[in-house]
Amino acid sequence: MLPRATPASLPWSGTKATWAVFLVFAAVYALIFVPNHLLFRTYALDLGLYTHAAVTYAHGRMADCMLFLGNRRSLLADHFDIHLILWSPLTWLFGQWTLLLVQWAAVLLGGLGMWRWLRALGATPLIANLGLVHFLGFFGIFSAFTADFHSSVVGAMAFPWFGLALHHRRKGAAWGWLLFMLCAKENMGIWLGFAAFGFWLHESKATGMRNMLLLQAVVALAWSAVVVGLVMPALADSAHYAGWRYPALGNGPADALRILATHPLSVFQALLDGGDVQVGRAVKVEMLVLLFLAGGWAMLVRPWILLMAVPLLLQKLLHEGPVQWGVLAHYSVEFAPLCTVAIFSWKPVLRPGRAGTAIAVVATLLSLGATIRVPDASIYTENRAKQRFYQAEHYQREFDAPQVRQLLDDIPASAAVSASTPFVPHLVQHRDLYQYPILANANVIVLATTEWPYPETLEEFHLALDTLGRSRFWTETARCDGAVVFTRN
């Protein structure tokens, strides 16, 4: 009679399985962002803008909004992103690839933090490995890789390390991780304030830890309040925060608090209001369904974690833009650590036995199923070739991409360049760089002839192309399949 398998002998319970999970997801995500960047599916907003800002910081200068707005207002007035300064020295080594590599490494390190946190909470190696698959395979992380770079992704990947530090009662480390996350973006403090309060509700033993968590909640909320209410308007030379995009919550944070307190029903109704977008309501419903399948159901039975998700849901569903409502880009990444820890630190899952393992397996499969839905058939989507790394079109373009890259490399390093949005991330080493049609002091214009000409319409772009071709101020100096270069006379 064969000996009965113990948890330590199961195929998915050992260290080799953990390494296999990391290698698989490292490869999958590299297969998404590397071809996308090489084939010009990354754009001025946001990868080009942020990488150029990091290069600017690396040269000891402050980044501004000239690239995409045409004015010298501090870039910190648009998003209060201190991480770009932190990563800026890496641009000397990795150039245009810097932030893509930072995001890739951050997600993998976030997975390591999640695995270690689950093990510290009592998960067996098998359960921790399933939790790792759930986390790295979460649809919010997958979508983030298909949409350039965002510091909020890097910030969210520190959350498991924050939770691990709290579990081990390491106050200094907990403060360090909190500050690291706060520096990613101006609104991170809203989420982290609720998160710290959620941990406070869950913490029932150590008085010192409870007091620290309350203080962290206050500090996090105060950070966002001061940055949004005072610092960013001062940097923008404005009386108000210009980034407020929540019509259902009034004209700013103060209005939001008043409306939430006095008209909660209207806010609740607005959560599923699709506005003028034809499929707006469907986009919101799809996101909520996928979130539920990917682990939101576990938050419903763990109210202290559900509390952490409240500001995320409000910011997503009450935003004025449909991209924010759905499953695209980085707008769901913060749910990843919440959903994973809600499931895999739940007592029925941690309890030894087949029932807990079965719950963990089913939860992981549901999450992966939700992720598969995103590139396969999500309602509101961009170019699916960016997402479908398993199809040949992901690795192909309708123009000669290597020839275009060579054309961009041939532009003199000292040139001031105005470029089409997919070319901007490849030109970040130029000190003066603008998203066309911003010209400023540009003496070189490089245009994509087969791409959508954001922010212009096709009609406006073809008119501009014809005008440049006949202009006595500009001369066409280079052309290839997919791009054309004009130089100022």
pLDDT in tens, the chain (489 residues): 334 444 444 555 568 899 999 999 999 999 999 999 999 999 999 899 999 999 999 999 999 999 999 999 999 999 999 999 999 999 999 999 999 999 999 999 999 999 999 999 999 999 999 999 999 999 999 999 998 899 999 999 999 999 999 999 999 999 999 999 999 999 999 999 999 999 999 987 788 899 999 999 999 999 999 999 899 999 988 766 667 788 888 877 778 888 888 888 888 888 888 877 778 888 899 999 999 999 999 999 999 999 999 999 999 998 887 888 888 888 999 999 999 999 999 999 998 889 999 999 999 999 999 999 888 767 766 678 889 999 999 999 999 999 999 999 999 999 999 999 999 999 999 999 999 999 999 999 999 999 999 999 999 999 999 999 999 999 999 999 999 999 999
Strands 417-419 and 483-488: unpaired
| pLDDT for res 240 | 66
What do you get for the CA distance between the two ends of the chain, in Å? 87
Q: Tell me how far apart the alpha carbons of residues 152 and 158 are, in angstroms, rounded to a whole number.
A: 10
Peptide linkage before 410 cis (omega within 30 of 0): no
* Distance from C-alpha of 25 to C-alpha of 17, rounded to nearest angstrom: 12
> How confident is the model at residue 6, as a pLDDT?
45
Structure confidence at residue 293 (pLDDT): 95
Give dist(CA 25, CA 29) in Å, integer: 6
**Strand 483-488 to 474-480 pairing:** antiparallel
Paired sense of beta strands 474-480 and 433-435, if any: unpaired
Angle at alpha carbon of residue 344, lines to 169 and 348, rounded to 5°: 105
Q: How far apart are CA 423 and CA 194, in angstroms?
A: 40
Tokens of 395: 């690795």
Count of positions (residues) in the chain: 489
Q: How far apart are CA 485 and CA 403, in angstroms?
A: 13
Compute the C-alpha angle 83/129/125, nearest 5°.
120
How much is the pLDDT for 254? 76
Max CA pair span of the chain: 90
- C-beta of residue 424 within 8 angstroms of C-beta of residue 435: yes
pLDDT on residue 275: 78
b/e 252-273 (16+ beta carbons within 10 angstroms → b):
ebeebeebeeeeeeebeebeee
| DSSP per position, 86-109 | HHGGGHHHHGGGHHHHHHHHHHHH
- CB distance 54 to 84 below 8 Å: yes
Interatomic CA distance for residues 249 and 317, integer angstroms: 11
How far is residue 307's CA from residue 453's CA, in Å, rounded to a whole number?
Answer: 42
**Single pTM value for the model:** 0.92
Q: Which pLDDT belongs to residue 58?
A: 97
CB 418 within 8 A of CB 442: yes
Cβ neighbours for 299, distance < 8 A, ≥ 6 positions apart: 305, 306, 309, 338, 339, 342
